[in-house]
Chains A and B, each alone.
Chain A
Amino acid sequence: MVWTYRTAVSIALIALLFGINWALDQYVIDYIVRIIMQCGINAILAVGLNLINGTTGQFSLGHAGFMAVGAYATAFAVIHLESWLGFNASNIPAPWMQGLLLSVGLLFGALFAGLAGLLVGAPSLRLRGDYLAIVTLGFAEIIRLIFTNTEALGGATGYSGGRPLGLPVYTNFFWVFLWAIFLITLIGNFTFSSYGRALRAIREDEIATEALGINTTRMKVLASVISAAAVGVAGGLFAHLMGTIRPDDFKMDRSVAMIVMILVGGLGSVSGAIIGAIFVGVTLEAMRDIQQYRLLAYSLLLIGLMIARPQGLLGSRELRLPAFLRRKRGGAA
C-alpha cells in the first residue's frame, strides 16, 4: 500500500520532470535554465546546511568545504568510471547513461562529503557558538588548501580530469531536480521524525536533552554527516554544471551565501531554506556584473534583515500544502 503509493508518486514525478526538462530544452534560453538549475542546487545546499545550523542550532561556517569534497569526489568518480567503461571523446555515452554516470558519481560525492562531515564534526561539535563557527571555518580552509596543493587533482588551476574540454557537463534540469526532491524529502522526513525532535531539543537546551537519555554529541555528529553528504551532492551537481572546479570556487563567500539563504528563509525551516535558496540564486545572478561587491551586498542585506525581520521570512515555521493536497496522517505514512 505504502509502496504502491510511493511508486506511483515517483513515476509521476519523473514523468513531470522529464516533461519540463524537454520543454525547457525546446523553448527556454540556456541562460534562464542555468539560473533555474542554480536555484535547485542552492536548495540542496540550504536544506542541508539548515539541518545543522537551523534545526540543531550548531553554527557551521565551513560548509563550502563539504561542497568542495563532494564536487571533487563526484568529478573524480565520473571521470574514472567513464574511462573504465571505455567512454571517450569519440565514444560519448548516451544521455540516459550520462545521467546514470553522474548519479553514481554523486553517491561517491555524498559518501566522501559525509565522511568529511564525520571527521570535522566529531571533534568540533563539542564546541559551542562562536568557537564552532571559527573551527569549522578553519576546517573549510584546510580542505581548500589540501585541494590547492594536490597536483593529482589539478592543484590551484582546478580539476578537469585531464581533459582539454574540462569535466563532462552532465548536470541538467532533470537530474538537479530529481536529486533535489529526493534529498529534501529525506532530510524533511528526518527533521519531522523523532530524530529531528531530538535535534531541536539540543538547540533549545543541550543539558536537558542529555538528561533525557539522548547522547547529544552523537546526535550532532549524525546531523553533521547527513548535512555534509547533502551539500556534497550539491557540489557534485555544481561540478558537472560548470565543467571545471577550482579550489577558489569554495572560499568562505560560498559558505556565507549558504548562510544567507537559511537566514533569509528562516533558521530551522525546511521550506524557508528553499525560498532563501531561490532568492540567493536569483540575486546572485542579478549581481553578476558587480561580483566583487557580493559580500558587501550580502552584509547589507543581512543587516537589513536583522532590523526588519530577524526571524527570516518564515521563522522556524513551515509552508504547508493546502489541506486537500495533504495525505491523512497514519494511513499511508
Chain B
Amino acid sequence: MTTPALKLDNIAKIFGGLRAVDGVSFEVAPRQIFGLIGPNGAGKTTAFNCISGVYTPEQGTISFFGKSIAGRPPSEIAALGIARTFQNIRLFGDMTVLENVMVAGHATIGFGPLAAMFRLRKQAEEQERLAARAHEILRIFELDGLAGEFSKSLPYGSQRKLEIARALMLNPKVLLLDEPAAGMNSREADSLKNQIRWLRDTFDLTIVLVEHNMQVVMNVCEQVHCVDHGQTIASGEPLHVQNHPAVRTAYLGADVDESTLRQS
C-alpha cells in the first residue's frame, strides 16, 4: 500500500475537561476526496486545527506522507503542503481580492527584506510572477474580474471561493476544506461539487472535506469518516456510513429513515 497523504493516529485534543477530539484515527490516500462528517460540536474543526498546527494535540501522531507534523507551527505545516480554509471565512477584508491570493505566495519569494527596501530587480520579477499566478488561479474561480475589489465587498459565496483560491496559491498537496458549502445557495453548492472533483484532478490534490450538506458529501467523497463527541462512530464508503445506525442516531437523536437524512 502507498504511504497515506495524511494519517491521524489516536489524536486527542482537550479543552479544560472537554475532550473535543478523543482518540480519532484515519488515513487519507493520495488523491482521495475524503469526507469528515458529524453533528455540530463533534470535533471536526478541532481536528482540522490539529492537522494545520493551530492546536497541538495532547495525544497521538499526525503524519503527512510519512512525515510527522503534530506540534509544528502552522506556518511550517502550510509550507510543507497542507493548505486549509476556515469555517468562518477568514479573508483579509481590507485587502483586494488579488492581494489576498498574492499573500499566500509570500513564503516562496526568493528575496530578502533588503532587496525589498532597495527594490532590486529580483523583487520586481518575483512580484510579477506572484501576480501572474494569482490571476491564473482567480480565473479558475471566475474571480479575476473582481481582482481589484476589497474582499469584504464580495458576496458570501464568492468569499468562500476566494478562500479556496488563496489556499491553492500555496501549491498544496493536501487541501482541508471546512464547510465550503455553508451559506451557498443550491446552485452554488452544485457547482462546488464539480469544482472539488475538478480541483483534485487538475492540481493532483488530496482533499479532506468537512461538510454538512449531505448531498455534497455523498456525491463527491470516496471515503467518509463520521465523528460524534470527539469519537469515531463510523468509517468507510459513503453509503455504508450514511446507512450506519449510529450515524443516524447521532445526527437526529433518534432512528429516522434514509430520506430525511438525504435531505438534510
Contacts and interface: CB of A to CB of B under 8 A. Distances in A.
Interface of A: 2, 186-187, 189-190, 193-198, 200-201, 204-205, 207-216, 222, 226, 316, 330, 333
A272 B121 CA distance: 28
Contacts of B117: 186-187, 189-190, 226
A213 B75 contact: yes
Given A189-B119, A201-B95, A213-B78, A207 B90 contact: yes
B220 to A, nearest CB: 23
Nearest to A209: B103
B103 A212 contact: yes
Nearest to B119: A189
B52 interface: yes
Contacts of A209: 92, 103
Contacts, number: 106
Nearest to A188: B117
A199 to B, nearest CB: 10
Given A207-B90, A212-B166, A213-B79, A333 B103 contact: no
B116 A193 contact: yes
Contacts of A204: 92-95
Instruction: Give chain A's interface secondary structure class.
Output: helix
Interface stretch (B35-43, B63-71, B106-114, B227-235): B106-114
B170 interface: yes
A186 B116 CA distance: 8
Contacts of A201: 92, 95, 103
Contact of B127 (A194, A207, A316): A194
B160 to A, nearest CB: 14
17 contacts: A186-B118, A190-B116, A194-B130, A197-B99, A201-B103, A204-B92, A205-B92, A208-B91, A210-B74, A211-B54, A211-B74, A212-B103, A212-B170, A213-B106, A214-B75, A215-B73, A330-B128
B173 interface: no
Interface string B120-164: 010110111010000000000000000000000000000000000
A333 B119 contact: yes
Interface in B26-46: none
Contacts of B47: none
Contact of A211 (B84, B123, B126): B84
Q: Which of B76, B106, B107, B170 has the most CB of A within 10 A?
A: B106
Contacts of A222: 113
